[in-house]
């Protein structure tokens, strides 16, 4: 390395990068998507009386119906992700695109085709959604501990996993994006266990209601007054609002998963969700009123209903379903079925504890203890589980309600998500009618249980694409169809205003620079981004048709890097989660990610931009690097800006990877000042031999006694490594 000379060329940049023609700048016109649904895929799980997967079915054993009309099954495959294979049992036509985006694996009938680990997400994935508003602290910890123990017994993941959490205030948080990294999965499970949860669940609600009943009774007030107390009304309003919010979040989540390939097992961890107008607290109060005020011989259940539905009353019934909640539940089922998502519900509150609530709840009044065991209260408690049962049944999943062995339930879900039959058929016309079409699958062999999604909403291509983009921006970590990288840099605009520079590029192999042919394929994408503040509100959004920031030498037909896109975004001061979706307007594939951005408060104080590393070759435009990786024949640029400076000087050094030995000194460079007072400059570094380096940049402003240090790693590859 020391035998080769590193050539250092210094340039002053008022806009060496920013005056490059910004081909990545947008036109606001979005493309019309011409994708069509050639086939609908139906993933089918068939089990025997003992719950074991049935492996020996033949194509002729299956009968498939859409809207109760039998359809011709075109392909039948057996997917075994744990075994790493897909066996084709029947293929009536050449394989084509499926609803949901995945294509069958072509193979001779009966032959098993190996599935590479990187391709398993084409067929399946498991996403855990831990619903804190539907749990109490003790049972949340119980689930997390069992989950950690199950992970510790797992050597590798056959299907990719992701972890999300709905926190106590109803905000969806990503704990682990979709991957097969078992360490990230364990870290997410540990975070669930460590996360605080102040809610104590239905037991606390009933104890509080019982205490109020006794206090009112002792005071001589009419016990009926409790029905109108603000506390009980507030509890019920909160429960209804929480239920609607949870269903909305789950629906949005399923819409995001519609851009995934393959079947998704959504593991919803919750103990309760209220779909009735009122809950167990109202049932206990009504039963207590019946016991106190009804004449002997009257039916308590009749009294309860009369008490809750008096003429002109605004009170709610614990037996009547809330129509607003039911509508949201229907939307969830439709969204899950359309996205090929099967919901698996896991309730870590054992049934024996639910049925012993009268014993566990600290109540001195024997009358109230008896009422806790009444059919009215028990029915209302069990009704909190109805939505969990129905979500599983309606989407082809399974419900594990009141389980005592959580680890066994999670293992069962793993098996369920990794082995299934994959059927496909051509749906009848017209396509894209926007209607829900029912699906049902039967097998001709008796004594077997068949589970599959119940139908799908046949959206037009434009509606499907719009829904997919919106959902990808809502839940970016669940979308991985088009892998890409994104990074945000703080800098100043040409007008001297603070801006966030978003840099986006399709993901490259970290060990190799690939070639991208501009003649063989288009590299145009559609860029979508939203800035979400600390309160979860969308402050601003961008939707742009993008062109790559890249140029090529005359006579060349390749871009030697993935296309890079940039967007300057003026945002007010604050902390933001910037969610980004990148869409290939030819293939229709969508990828999504998110980055954290901090925009500082406006100030006259001296400060620097983030360090931006770029690479260029010959007369090509410099491209920002998202991965610090260059070839030895490329020129590296280190770009920095200074705000509030007087006479800043840019210098630096090149060190070995461990930072222990200095290899070269970058000469001091006076930074040029533009018309609005921003100082900008960069070093050009040529001739770096292959190796791993640390580039350390320092900015000194001696007149103001200010300085800053910035650094980045850099890997230089031999030119022969470029394809």
Q: What is the pLDDT of residue 7?
A: 45
Q: What is the pLDDT of residue 425?
A: 93
Query: Taking the CB of residue 498, how many other CB atoms lie within 10 A of it?
Result: 20
**pTM, rounded to two decimals:** 0.73
Of 166-175, 407-416, 552-561, minimum mean pLDDT range: 552-561
What's the whole-number mean pLDDT along residues 125-137?
A: 91
pLDDT classification of 74: cutoffs 50, 70, 90:
very high
Closest CA to 263 of 132, 405, 160: 160
* CA pair distance 165, 527, nearest whole angstrom: 27
Highest mean pLDDT among 317-326, 469-478, 583-592, 636-645: 636-645
Mean pLDDT of the chain: 78
Residue 556, pLDDT > 70, answer: no
Of 184-193, 515-524, 570-579, 626-635, minimum mean pLDDT range: 515-524
* CA pair distance 155, 546, nearest whole angstrom: 43
Q: Are strands 263-269 and 124-131 parallel, antiparallel or unpaired?
A: parallel
Instruction: Dig out the tokens for 177 from the structure.
Output: 């994006």
Q: Which whole-number Å values give the CA distances from 157 to 83, 186, 417, 435, in the listed order?
A: 11, 12, 12, 37
Residue 591, pLDDT > 70, answer: yes
Contact 279, 318 (CB under 8 A): yes
* CA pair distance 719, 630, nearest whole angstrom: 9
Q: What is the pLDDT of residue 100?
A: 37
**Cα 514 to the center of its chain, rounded Å:** 29
Residue 521, pLDDT > 50, answer: no
DSSP letter for each residue of 591-628? EEEEEEEEEPPP--S-EE---EEEEE-TTPPPEE-SS-
Of 303-312, 331-340, 662-671, minimum mean pLDDT range: 303-312
* CA pair distance 419, 158, nearest whole angstrom: 11
pLDDT classification of 169: cutoffs 50, 70, 90:
confident
Q: What is the pLDDT of residue 158?
A: 79
Of 4-13, 353-362, 401-410, 631-640, minimum mean pLDDT range: 4-13
What's the whole-number mean pLDDT along residues 56-61?
A: 93
Q: What is the pLDDT of residue 91?
A: 62
Q: Which residue has the tokens 């068949």?
A: 450
Closest CA to 235 of 215, 212, 216, 251: 212
Between 26 and 191, the higher pLDDT residue = 191
pLDDT digits (tens, 9 = 90+) for 374-394: 777 778 888 889 999 999 999
What's the whole-number mean pLDDT along residues 13-22?
A: 35
Q: What is the pLDDT of residue 545?
A: 83
Residue 299, pLDDT > 80, answer: no
pLDDT classification of 121: cutoffs 50, 70, 90:
low
Instruction: Dig out the tokens for 481 from the structure.
Output: 């169809």
What's the whole-number mean pLDDT along residues 430-438?
A: 88
Between 555 and 660, the higher pLDDT residue = 660
What's the whole-number mean pLDDT along residues 58-84?
A: 91
Q: What is the pLDDT of residue 473?
A: 87
Closest CA to 357 of 144, 142, 205, 211: 205
Sign of the Cα pseudo-torsion (714, 717, 721, 723, in order): positive
pLDDT digits (tens, 9 = 90+) for 631-644: 888 899 999 999 99
Residues contacting residue 501 through CB under 8 Å, at least 6 positions apart: 488, 489, 490, 491, 566, 567, 568, 569, 612
pLDDT digits (tens, 9 = 90+) for 219-270: 655 555 555 455 667 777 788 888 999 999 899 888 878 777 788 999 999 9
Between 319 and 341, the higher pLDDT residue = 341
The per-residue b/e assignment along 147-176, b for 16 or more CB within 10 angstroms, e otherwise, is bbebbeeeeebbbbbbbbbbeeebebebbb
Helices 280-293 and 230-257 meet at what angle, rounded to 10? 150
Burial class, 488, CB count within 10 angstroms (exposed 0-12 / middle 13-18 / buried 19+): buried
Residue 445, pLDDT > 90, answer: yes
Instruction: Dig out the tokens for 94 from the structure.
Output: 């050449």
Q: What is the pLDDT of residue 244?
A: 92
Helices 137-152 and 406-418 meet at what angle, rounded to 10? 60
Instruction: Dig out the tokens for 81 from the structure.
Output: 């992700």
pLDDT digits (tens, 9 = 90+) for 528-539: 999 998 877 888
φ, ψ (nearest 5 deg) of residue 164? -130, 160
pLDDT classification of 89: cutoffs 50, 70, 90:
confident
Q: What is the pLDDT of residue 663?
A: 93
Q: What is the pLDDT of residue 292?
A: 62
pLDDT classification of 322: cutoffs 50, 70, 90:
confident
pLDDT classification of 347: cutoffs 50, 70, 90:
very high
**What residues pair up with 670 in beta bridges, in sequence order?**
649
Contact 105, 424 (CB under 8 A): no
- Helix boundaries (H) for 431-530: 461-474
């Amino acid at each position: 390395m020391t035998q080769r000379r590193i050539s250092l060329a210094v340039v002053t940049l008022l806009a060496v990068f920013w005056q490059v023609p910004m081909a990545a700048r947008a036109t606001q016109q979005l493309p019309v998507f011409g994708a069509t649904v050639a086939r609908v895929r139906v993933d089918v799980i068939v089990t025997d009386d003992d719950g074991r997967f049935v492996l020996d079915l033949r194509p002729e054993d299956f009968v498939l119906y859409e809207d109760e009309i039998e359809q011709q099954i075109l392909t039948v495959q057996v997917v075994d992700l744990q075994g790493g294979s897909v066996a084709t049992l029947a293929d009536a036509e050449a394989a084509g695109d499926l609803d949901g985006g995945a294509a069958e694996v072509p193979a001779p009938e009966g032959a098993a085709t190996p599935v590479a680990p990187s391709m398993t997400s084409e067929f399946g994935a498991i996403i855990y959604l831990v619903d804190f508003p539907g749990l109490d602290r003790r049972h949340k910890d119980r689930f997390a501990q069992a989950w950690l123990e199950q992970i510790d017994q797992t050597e590798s993941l056959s299907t990719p996993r992701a972890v999300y959490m709905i926190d106590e205030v109803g905000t969806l948080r990503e704990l682990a994006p979709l991957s097969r990294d078992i360490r990230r999965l364990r870290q997410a499970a540990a975070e669930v266990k460590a996360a605080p949860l102040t809610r104590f669940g239905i037991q606390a609600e009933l104890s509080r209601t019982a205490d109020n009943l006794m206090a009112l009774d002792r005071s001589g007030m009419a016990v009926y007054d409790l029905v109108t107390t603000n506390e009980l009304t507030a509890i019920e309003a909160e429960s209804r609002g929480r239920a609607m919010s949870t269903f909305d979040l789950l629906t949005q989540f399923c819409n995001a998963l519609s851009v995934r390939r393959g079947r998704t097992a959504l593991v919803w961890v919750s103990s309760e969700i209220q779909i009735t107008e009122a809950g167990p607290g109202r049932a206990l109060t009504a039963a207590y009123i019946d016991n106190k005020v009804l004449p002997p011989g009257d039916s308590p259940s009749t009294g309860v209903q009369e008490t809750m539905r008096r003429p002109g009353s605004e009170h709610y019934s614990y037996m009547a379903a809330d129509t607003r909640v039911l509508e949201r539940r229907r939307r969830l089922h439709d969204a899950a079925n359309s996205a090929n998502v099967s919901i698996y519900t896991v309730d870590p509150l054992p049934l024996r504890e639910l049925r012993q609530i009268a014993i566990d709840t600290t109540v001195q009044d024997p009358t109230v203890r008896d009422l806790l065991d009444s059919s009215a209260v028990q029915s209302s408690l069990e009704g909190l589980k109805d939505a969990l049962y129905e979500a599983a049944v309606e989407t082809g999943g399974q419900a594990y309600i009141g389980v005592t062995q959580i680890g066994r339930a999670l293992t069962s879900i793993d098996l369920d998500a990794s082995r299934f039959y994959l059927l496909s058929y051509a749906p009848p016309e017209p396509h894209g009618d926007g209607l829900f079409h029912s699906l049902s699958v039967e097998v001709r062999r008796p004594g077997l249980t068949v589970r599959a999604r119940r139908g799908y909403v046949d959206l037009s291509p434009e509606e499907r694409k719009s829904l997919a983009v919106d959902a990808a921006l809502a839940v970016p970590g669940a979308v991985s169809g088009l892998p890409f990288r994104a990074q945000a840099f703080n800098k100043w605009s040409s007008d001297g205003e603070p801006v966030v520079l978003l840099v986006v590029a399709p993901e490259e192999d970290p060990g190799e620079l690939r070639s991208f042919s501009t003649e063989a394929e288009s590299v145009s994408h559609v860029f979508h981004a939203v800035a979400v503040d600390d309160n979860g509100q969308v402050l601003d959004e961008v939707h742009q048709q993008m062109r790559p920031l890249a140029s090529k030498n005359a006579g060349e037909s390749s871009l030697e890097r993935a296309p890079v896109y940039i967007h300057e975004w003026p945002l007010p001061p604050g902390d933001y989660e910037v969610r980004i979706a990148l869409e290939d307007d030819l293939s229709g594939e969508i990828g999504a990610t998110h980055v954290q951005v901090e925009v500082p408060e406006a100030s006259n104080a001296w400060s620097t931009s983030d360090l931006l590393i770029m690479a260029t070759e010959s007369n090509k435009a410099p491209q920002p690097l998202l991965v610090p990786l260059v070839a030895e024949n490329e020129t590296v640029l280190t770009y920095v800006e200074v705000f509030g400076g007087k006479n800043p000087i840019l210098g630096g050094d090149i060190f070995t990877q461990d930072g222990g030995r200095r290899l070269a000194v970058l000469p001091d460079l006076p930074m040029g000042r533009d018309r609005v007072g921003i100082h900008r400059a960069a070093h050009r570094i040529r001739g770096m031999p292959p190796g791993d380096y640390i580039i350390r940049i320092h900015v000194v402003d001696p007149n103001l006694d200010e300085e800053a240090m910035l650094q980045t790693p850099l890997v230089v590859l031999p030119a022969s490594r470029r394809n």
